[in-house]
Structure 1
């Protein structure tokens, strides 16, 4: 395996790197005229058809880095689009990331008259099956639902020309490697394979040795690389003062992402903030897909300034101009801290990260920062402390809350429920919808399949992307601020 970490020439352009003209034009129309380092480093090899292993932290531009060579390869081969037999596969760990990747790829695919779609669990499979029957070029999928559809013979992978593993380290962390290996085994051995990851640990090395052919490794930014425009702070607070300090932190006029450890805590905090005049929405695994998309849209469009989330949002949530990330509950390990924090200071923008630490969390927080390679500014605070407003900015005008409407939550088990990543029922209502106590994001998006391959009985709508009618949301991926993804 050869490794390159090349310097990026100041005059480099997508055209000079060999990107086809229609794709260059599509990028330019969306304000992207020059490549990010990970793109400039990997494109010469990936466009030449080589297997590539790219390491870059979240927000470094990996999606465009693999989207361009994937689409260029499909256009070059010119093979026919056949029902149920996609020509390119992008595997991702979560449904949120699947949607985000599709929104980036779809406008580019349109320029080459290629079709894309997403496949993930937690919604009814009917729309996905129908789209597959019509034929698509690129499938962006989570492992569990894809395996379910393969088991039901709705899709096959024997015509795959390019396979991409995005956030491979996260898939390994969530225990999806067995499913990923089964899916890779179903693709042609002579196809091109691109693997992108924030870290290159032993689990990733297993995939590289088994599935990539003489890959070129490009390491631009690891997950532990410092982000110059990101400042880190620890607020030491008493347990009784914590709610008030958190409320003051997120009360600024900027866009804030607050992380909690559990789904219940995320839901509770969002309600409390909204009731106090700070509009907030929650994001966690108990929400239905429509509720997730609705809440993400409210946050992305700016109608709500605060998103309270579990670690499900630590990857795959790419919203411009998140100025503040608050770790309401410090994460359990340093990689989660880095990925949570990576929601701000993206693509060269500035950002602030604050960890709220109670006395019983001091030791763990100190260890967390050391393992993450972070030297934060630490201060003891109480409500009204000047350090709070210094980081959160001027306080926004309070909003009188509307009557609370419960977000739709997925029903728990039962005779017809199969779990979100395995072609689950996707049924609405009809149960108490009590949230599970632990934040099981490692299983809530694309649980590895292995069941009987029964049909989903759900009627929930799937998110599918036909490049002939791209969603307007996809344009947000190419905003004038030049997003990393």
Structure 2
């Protein structure tokens, strides 16, 4: 392994690629990886990558902090791939050479997706291990030998206990979203897993926050780590607009329907799994193609719903906090906190699903009278100064936050396959609600093939709904 470099700290607050900073080649990334990166359209490092790559490539233990969406995945993926490719040790059955721990199945899958083309360029083998799917394919993959194991703590613990895997050959260990692992209660499992890796191995820990729980892992397992703080925990993206909409409980759903019926991808957060399931059914019943993502879904359903959202057959994903760290979908223009989170870290991680990698985005929090004090405390701790507006459905601000014609699945048309379960929640009368004072023209959705109804944008000041009432409801028999 390369000699240790002197400790140093590289501060940065930019959230865009370092076009005038060092190139991947100048940072020490091998030529084959640079070629593979270029093929993926990645030509310049982000600040977290520019800060951590020299030390990680040199074999140092690294502690990196950067907000969600800052580019942490490649910051650890590139050193892992480069160092394994340069290592003379072969892969062996059941004994991975590198271990990447992630808190959720979705995050593990997306790390593997990002690393797969780069690993192929170096003839390295990747395997994901997590619960909710059959264990036998994972066991077979372990037996065949794997270079990089990307795992959630629970299922990996099972494989270790049954003798299908050992961690004594791990050269590099990565903890991704370490603070989220602590929040989810994985700290004891993570501690036991790290204890089974060689003490001489390299360890990279990346997190959006470095709080007391994470510090326990740092002090026990990282050796003389180099710390890189790319931005403070409360820092916000200048391209992310924050709005608080003060609504009445009776009009909350109508506001959500208006926002989610606009073009583009929208991610809606609820506090509970039951709330996510119920709101998804309500949106589908209103004609908004929506799918849900939460812990009660099996892996097949989670994968199917996430694919529907990614490919566009469902424009809206209603999720619990599992998606605040677990998904990376490009082009999410709007994040809605249908239920304000309890603590500010959750707000920042949820909001970080939009305005990623230099893009712009909008974050909307719905607030009722009973939530005013809690939301004020939440935004203050998050370092956010939102624009607060008291409004009813039909307020012109809604068209500004989510511009474009509103489109609804026409009555009688099949919603996306992954949303059909929501039809059980159809309101009495069976009809789809529509705003008044709008023109409607049928169209064919290019994504789903289902007939949609386009609703022209309302003129400024038009009141499409009365507060607490349902206007424009069509009854079918």
- The two structures have a TM-score, normalised by structure 1, of 0.82
Q: Could you tell me how far apart the structure 1 residues matched to 2:207 and 2:418 are?
A: 36
Partner of 1:195: 205
2:44 maps to which of 21, 25, 34: 34
User: What is the count of residue pairs matched by the alignment?
Assistant: 409
Displacement of 1:2: 4.5
Question: Is the Cα–Cα contact under 8 Å of residues 287 and 408 in structure 1 kept in the other structure?
Answer: no
Displacement of 1:396: 3.0
Displacement of 1:185: 0.7
Question: Is the Cα–Cα contact under 8 Å of residues 329 and 355 in structure 1 kept in the other structure?
Answer: yes
Displacement of 1:133: 0.5
1:385-424 matches, within 5 Å, as: 385-400=395-410, 401-402=413-414
Question: Is the Cα–Cα contact under 8 Å of residues 284 and 415 in structure 2 kept in the other structure?
Answer: no
Q: Could you tell me how far apart the structure 2 residues matched to 1:117 and 1:368 are?
A: 39
Going from structure 1 to structure 2, the CA distance change for 1:9 and 1:211 (only over 3 Å counts) comes to: farther
Partner of 1:477: none
1:243 and 2:243 matched: no
Going from structure 1 to structure 2, the CA distance change for 1:209 and 1:13 (only over 3 Å counts) comes to: same
Deviations 1:413-449 (A, max 9, x none): xxxxxxxxxxxxxxxxxxxxxxxxxxxxxxxxxxxxx
1:156 maps to which of 166, 169, 186: 166
Deviations 1:346-379 (A, max 9, x none): 0010000000011111111111111111000001
Displacement of 1:408: 11
Q: Could you tell me how far apart the structure 1 residues matched to 2:402 and 2:313 are?
A: 18
Report which structure shows greater RCO (CA 8 Å, sep ≥6): 1
1:358 maps to which of 337, 348, 368: 368
Q: Could you tell me how far apart the structure 2 residues matched to 1:11 and 1:136 are?
A: 35
Partner of 1:128: 138
Deviations 1:387-406 (A, max 9, x none): 11110111332222416867
1:9-408 matches, within 5 Å, as: 10-400=20-410, 401-402=413-414
Structure 1 residue runs of 5 or longer lacking an equivalent are 410-485
Partner of 1:5: 10
Going from structure 1 to structure 2, the CA distance change for 1:403 and 1:5 (only over 3 Å counts) comes to: closer
Q: Could you tell me how far apart the structure 2 residues matched to 1:407 and 1:156 are?
A: 41
Task: Point out the structure with max Rg over C-alpha.
Answer: 2
Question: Is the Cα–Cα contact under 8 Å of residues 288 and 408 in structure 1 kept in the other structure?
Answer: no
Displacement of 1:120: 0.6
Question: Is the Cα–Cα contact under 8 Å of residues 234 and 354 in structure 1 kept in the other structure?
Answer: yes
Structure 2 residue runs of 5 or longer lacking an equivalent are 1-5, 13-17, 422-477
Q: Could you tell me how far apart the structure 2 residues matched to 1:203 and 1:397 are?
A: 45
- The two structures have a TM-score, normalised by structure 2, of 0.83
Displacement of 1:301: 1.1
Q: SS of the counterpart of 1:374?
A: coil
Q: SS of the counterpart of 2:90?
A: coil
Q: SS of the counterpart of 2:27?
A: coil
Q: SS of the counterpart of 2:349?
A: helix
Q: Could you tell me how far apart the structure 2 residues matched to 1:315 and 1:20 are?
A: 29
Q: SS of the counterpart of 1:323?
A: strand
Which has the larger displacement, 302-311 or 396-405? Answer: 396-405
RMSD over aligned CA atoms reads 1.6
Displacement of 1:223: 3.5
Partner of 1:468: none
Displacement of 1:152: 0.2
Question: Is the Cα–Cα contact under 8 Å of residues 25 and 31 in structure 2 kept in the other structure?
Answer: yes
Deviations 1:106-127 (A, max 9, x none): 1111110000011111111111
Q: Could you tell me how far apart the structure 2 residues matched to 1:176 and 1:224 are?
A: 24
Displacement of 1:78: 2.5
